[in-house]
Structure 1
Amino acid sequence: MRPAFLRLLLLALLLAQPALAVSNPADMLPDAAQEERARALGREIRCMVCQNQSIEDSEVSLARDLRLIVRERITAGDSDGQIRAFLHARYGDFVLLKPPFAWSTAVLWATPVVALLGGLFFIMLARRRSAAAPAMPPPLTEEERRRLDAIDDTKDTTRA
């Protein structure tokens, strides 16, 4: 029974399709090419409420409004660049999932690189410290123990 269940589960996962936020047929464009263009463009636009999702993946009403704006602009004949520029002018850099590189966004672009380099630096520092740590000395031989005992015996007699 268990292998059959695992096969069924695997088949279900392989056949699963991502849920699209545009579920209302009235929101979709009648032309399939324009609708695909709107969806592709919507995957580049950030949901202002969810912040980690595109407007195509979000169910929030603001995301729906932005999807409708994108579709209206496509119907009006705007190019993808014009639509991005329109939304950018209205909402700023944050509306784009891939904001342009500028001095105002330099920290955003540099943070992953700085974090990676900092992590590598600390790993190298830790490895150097562990390599430079003194190793345990080898155990004393019988000859060394006899000499040490002899030294201890002489110290005890001088103190008395």
Structure 2
Amino acid sequence: MRVRSVFAALSLALSLAVAMPRAIVAQQAPAAPRDTLVVTPEGLRAGAPTKATDPALEARTSAVASGLRCPVCQGLSIQDSPSELAQQMRSLVRDQLAAGKTDEEVRAYFISKYGEWILLEPKASGFNLLVYALPVLLVVGGLVFIITLVRRWTVAPALSDASDASDASDRDAADGDENSTT
């Protein structure tokens, strides 16, 4: 019965370790802006190219877009998302990079519009440290818990065997005393 409760506790701890970072990110996530479209004048031009012809620009666009969350899709980057908004955001990233902005300036632009939630990997500072530290702490705590239980289970039978042996020797000694007095 104890083993079942231990496994139940461990499964609960593992579930929390997996669900907690997602819950923290979901609480920090603002609602996706439905009435705001990210469109640039270059994107509205008739016959505007949909892809950059420069492979270096396309690689930078892909790298930046891979780090930005799609506001419509759950857990997808704007690089991987098929949504229309993600395509517009990808186009905006490409346009800003082509205009000479750095990767950090493009990320800062999206953070100013959507908040830090837009980053797929939150910065490791402040409250966001929980996302990185909590799973490690739960695993370490679970290991300490398991080691403690295993030690108790192995020490308890050894102590009971030793006490049984001492009880038996005490009884033998008491039986010997009774036999010698008669």
* TM-score, normalization by structure 2: 0.56
Q: CA deviation at 1:26?
A: 4.1
- Asked if 1:95 corresponds to 2:139, the answer is no
- Asked if 1:51 corresponds to 2:74, the answer is yes
Kindly name which structure, 1 or 2, has the bigger radius of gyration based on alpha carbons.
1
- Asked if 1:112 corresponds to 2:135, the answer is yes
Any gaps of 5 or more consecutive residues in structure 1?
A: 1-24, 139-143, 152-160
Higher deviation after alignment, 27-36 or 108-117 = 108-117
Q: CA deviation at 1:37?
A: 0.9
- The AA in structure 1 aligned to 2:96 is R
- The AA in structure 2 aligned to 1:96 is L
Higher deviation after alignment, 101-110 or 55-64 = 101-110
Query: Is the partner of 1:90 in helix, strand or coil?
Result: helix
- Asked if 1:83 corresponds to 2:106, the answer is yes
Structure 1 match to 2:29: none
Query: Is the partner of 2:146 in helix, strand or coil?
Result: helix
Looking at structure 1, the residues matched to 149 and 49 of structure 2 have their Cα atoms a distance apart, in angstroms, of 60
- Asked if 1:39 corresponds to 2:62, the answer is yes
Residue identity over aligned pairs, in percent, reads 36
Q: Can you list the C-alpha shifts for 1:7-29, whole angstroms capped at 9, x where unaligned? A: xxxxxxxxxxxxxxxxxx94311
Looking at structure 2, the residues matched to 47 and 121 of structure 1 have their Cα atoms a distance apart, in angstroms, of 39
Any gaps of 5 or more consecutive residues in structure 2?
A: 1-47, 163-167, 176-182
The number of aligned residues is 118
C-alpha RMSD of matched pairs (Å): 2.7
* TM-score, normalization by structure 1: 0.62
Q: CA deviation at 1:137?
A: 4.8
Q: CA deviation at 1:104?
A: 3.1
- The AA in structure 2 aligned to 1:67 is R
